Amino acid sequence: MPADLILRGATVHTVDAARSTAQAVAIEAGRIAAVGDMDAVDGLRGPATRVVDLEGAMVLPGFGDAHCHLGESGHASTLCSLDGSDGPDEHLRRIGAYREAHPERDWVVGSGWSMSDFPGGTPTAAALDAVVPDRPAVLTNRDYHGAWVNTRALELAGITAATPDPAGGRIERDEHGAPLGTLQEQAMHLVLDLAPAPTHADRVAGIRAAVAYYHRLGITASQDAKVDVEWQAAYEELARAGELGLRVRGALEWDVGRGEEQVAELVERRRAGTVGRLACGNVKFFHDGVVENRTAAMLDPYLDAGGRPTGEYGIDMYSRADLERFARLCDAEGFGVHIHTIGDRAVRESLDALEAAIRANGRRDARHQLAHVQFAHPDDLPRFRALGVIANVTPLWARLEAYVSEMTLPFVSERAGSGMYPFASIVRAGGALAFGSDWSVSTPDPRHQLATAVARRDPLGSAEEPLLPAERLDLGTAIAAHTIGAAHACSLEAVTGSIEPGKLADLVVLERDLFGLAPADFLDVRVLATLVEGEVVHAEPGSALAGGA
């Protein structure tokens, strides 16, 4: 049959097994009909075929974001957002302006500050009181592992010097034991659970906003890495109506406060949440926290400011026995297990738990994955391939910025620091790699992710040294991790993630071919168009694909 759309005159990186390139792609009924040289593909022209000459542009499979918080981040953009804010003074100015602009809101709720913005990574209630004295305020940091609260919020939550730290969390305190105004990990929920939750309509609007943003970046599939019941309902509504513009793999949140009784509920949620472009087939666990607040689970003790070992090794959200049991039960029900692992001990113990599940239930193509893998002991790297576990990583973090050089490396052992973000080592050991942004912790822009993966430095920086340059990835490997690798993590590689006949026409058109460019120049390459099943869902004004297919 004649094609509906032919894209020609481009460098088409198919990301197939041979990493082949082509000149043209034909699309018919939402799928790839042919890919090859222009003469061959032109044979599928018909009277109604739209033919677009891309004049040397780059065509790739649509990018996948294998780990993000899609709905929450879309909704967060409508609250008090500190994204792009630079330092405490600007944070406070923006928070105060938000308070003034929204007198109707009983709470000031927001996110986006960084621990590196404040001495010791701990902002104070007193500072926040200066701009929000009259109502409770809570703002999570950019990695969602800590919250900044004011005095009114502490009072409403009943948090005093006598309040014990909750399991899996810590209340930062002054020298007298009084709460400072920073709550780490599970302690955040002492306040967050009191703040107004988004309505169902808010959630739906947040997902729509996030999808539109992802389309502008060339992203056509994602894994939302923490989906609770309310967010699942919003996704389901859009999916059932045929209005979910991304393919979304939902990782259903495991409630740390409950036990194995929730497995049956998750099975039912998976059934209800498999509709249209939505598939809720994974379960998300948190093993540990983050290094900067000393909650990541490490094999070696943390160091103090003088470089001396302390007695701290981080925290565990679960006992090893519980994590193994829960992983085994989820694996037995056919779920993919998705575990947040920052520290090298978290990585080792999570691999142990997944290995125990395989021993108990037998080996299958489970797509279990460890998210982030900031630190890993060399002995554990071959285990990713041996166990079939995907390393779901955020390349943007693999750079020697102040956050790393001032708040991370000085407080971990030299051995641990030498194994930071071991992307190339995992690939060399035969492990599967998938890229996820963890948005809104960091930008989901694939151009920025790819540039950092290749250079191991900030493409926007000037004099920054690369972080462990032996862990750099070549561009082809990085693109694969952001396309077919992400599709594999989302159980979508049979239908998308590469440009091959029969697959869905989920594509991105970039202004220029990234191969041959310096990584710092990737960010200047415009996303000309994004296609989902052959439909143009984003096109730059004036580009060849503007106006749709």
Tally: H helices and E strands in the chain: 18, 25
Place of tokens 């929000």: 132
How confident is the model at residue 292, as a pLDDT? 86
Using CB atoms within 10 Å of the CB of residue 50, give its burial: 0 to 12 exposed, 13 to 18 middle, 19+ buried.
middle
How confident is the model at residue 462, as a pLDDT? 66
Produce one character per residue of 384-398: b if its CB has 16 or more CB atoms within 10 Å, e if not: beebbbbbbbbbbbb
Neighbouring C-beta atoms of residue 138, cutoff 10 Å: 28
Q: Which pLDDT tens digit goes with each residue over 379-422?
A: 999 999 999 999 999 999 999 988 899 889 999 999 999 999 99
Mean pLDDT across the chain: 95
The whole-model pTM stands at 0.89
Percent of the chain at pLDDT exceeding 70: 99
- CB 412, CB 356: distance < 8 Å: no
Q: Which pLDDT tens digit goes with each residue over 319-365?
A: 999 999 999 999 999 999 999 999 999 999 999 999 999 999 999 99
The one-letter code for the residue type at 405 is S
Using CB atoms within 10 Å of the CB of residue 380, give its burial: 0 to 12 exposed, 13 to 18 middle, 19+ buried.
buried
Neighbouring C-beta atoms of residue 191, cutoff 10 Å: 23
Element (H, E) at 352: helix 344-361
Domain range 70-192, CATH architecture: Roll (3.10)
Q: Does domain 200-489 have CATH number 3.40.190.10?
A: no
How confident is the model at residue 20, as a pLDDT? 98
Neighbouring C-beta atoms of residue 112, cutoff 10 Å: 21
> What band does 549 get if pLDDT is binned at 50, 70 and 90?
very low
Which residues, in sequence order, are bridge partners of residue 51?
Answer: 6
Q: CATH homologous superfamily for 5-62+502-539? A: Urease, subunit C, domain 1 (2.30.40.10)
Q: Rounded to an integer, what distance in angstroms lies between the CA atom of residue 476 and that of residue 479?
A: 5
Q: Does residue 542 surpass a pLDDT of 50?
A: yes
Q: Does residue 139 surpass a pLDDT of 70?
A: yes
Across 491-499, average pLDDT: 98
How confident is the model at residue 463, as a pLDDT? 63
- Measured CA distances, 427 to 97, 349, 544 (Å): 47, 21, 37
Q: Give, to the nearest 10 degrees, the angle between helix 320-332 and helix 344-361.
A: 40
Please state the φ and ψ torsions of residue 21, each to the nearest 5 degrees.
Answer: -120, 160
Q: Does residue 286 surpass a pLDDT of 50?
A: yes
Domain ranges of the chain: 5-62+502-539, 70-192, 200-489
| Chain center to CA of 184 | 20
Torsion (CA) 459, 460, 462, 468 in degrees, nearest 10: -40
Beta strands in 2-141 (DSSP E): 5-8, 11-13, 21-22, 24-28, 31-36, 50-53, 58-61, 63-68, 80-81, 108-113, 137-141
How confident is the model at residue 165, as a pLDDT? 95
Q: Which pLDDT tens digit goes with each residue over 33-85?
A: 999 999 999 999 999 999 999 999 999 999 999 999 999 999 988 899 898 88
